[in-house]
């Protein structure tokens, strides 16, 4: 069975590209049926249209308040009948109206090892904090900023001489591997919540293969 994904984006869309490629080459048994952005100028929207993917803007600025934005974006997503909603660089917090429309079926990728560094400028903050390990997280979405049960993480060591851009690039490389992997679990219906924690059927407790660095 091919699952239906709707992907929400706000910017360049490199994670969307990684997901899209993984769907096309059969690593993920799913199809991106719609891309939705709060920003009509998002490069990810234009690129999706070029590829023939249905891409829709719901500009948050045209909404009276957060509630109206939530309702409009929920309607736009629901109309595409998704099995899963994947946030890929979607930079707005979604409210209860949206979350209750797709219970347990919304994933987000965030560029830190949550619960450390939710929000913006994660790489800068990780460097300032002096952490030795950084990375990215895919989690189910709840009403808190970058919050919800963790599905998978990839760890990236912080190397001597790292600056924000170098660290960000190495984390992004891992994001592009991690998100398709989790998307596959979602499409295969293997993600369950037990006692507030995520269990992935058939994966045991084994972490994803670690990245190799010098």
In the complex, which residues of this chain contact ligand GAR (CB under 6 A)?
9, 11-15, 88-89, 109-111, 146, 172, 175
In the complex with ligand GAR, which residue's Cβ is closer, 17 or 199?
17
Min. distance of Cβ 209 from ligand GAR in angstroms?
Answer: 20
Task: Say whether 60 is catalytic.
Answer: no
Return d(Cα 167, Cα 158) in angstroms, integer: 7
In the complex with ligand GAR, which residue's Cβ is closer, 12 or 21?
12
CB–CB of 137/109 below 8 Å?
yes
Min. distance of Cβ 146 from ligand GAR in angstroms?
Answer: 5
Instruction: Single out the catalytic residue among 60, 110, 134, 139.
Output: 110
Min. distance of Cβ 205 from ligand GAR in angstroms?
Answer: 24
**Which position's Cβ is nearest ligand GAR?**
89
């Amino acid at each position: 069975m091919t699952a239906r994904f709707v992907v929400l984006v706000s910017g360049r869309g490199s994670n969307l590209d990684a997901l899209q490629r993984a769907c096309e080459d059969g690593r993920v048994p799913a199809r991106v049926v719609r891309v939705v952005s709060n920003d009509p100028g998002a490069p990810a929207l234009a690129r999706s249209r070029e590829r023939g993917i249905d891409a829709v803007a719901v500009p948050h600025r045209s909404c009276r308040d957060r509630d109206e934005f939530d309702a409009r974006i929920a309607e736009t997503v629901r109309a595409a009948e998704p099995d899963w909603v994947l946030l890929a660089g979607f930079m707005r917090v979604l409210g209860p109206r949206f979350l209750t429309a797709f219970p347990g079926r919304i994933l987000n990728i965030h560029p830190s090892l949550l619960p450390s560094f939710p929000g913006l400028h994660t790489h800068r903050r990780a460097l300032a904090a002096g952490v030795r390990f950084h990375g990215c997280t895919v989690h189910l979405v709840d009403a808190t900023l970058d919050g919800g049960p963790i599905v998978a993480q990839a760890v990236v060591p912080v190397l001597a001489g790292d600056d924000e851009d170098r660290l960000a690039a190495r984390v992004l490389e891992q994001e592009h591997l991690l998100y398709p992997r989790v998307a596959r679990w979602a499409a295969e219906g293997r993600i369950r919540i037990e006692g507030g924690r995520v269990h992935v059927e058939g994966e045991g407790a084994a972490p994803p293969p670690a990245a190799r660095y010098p």
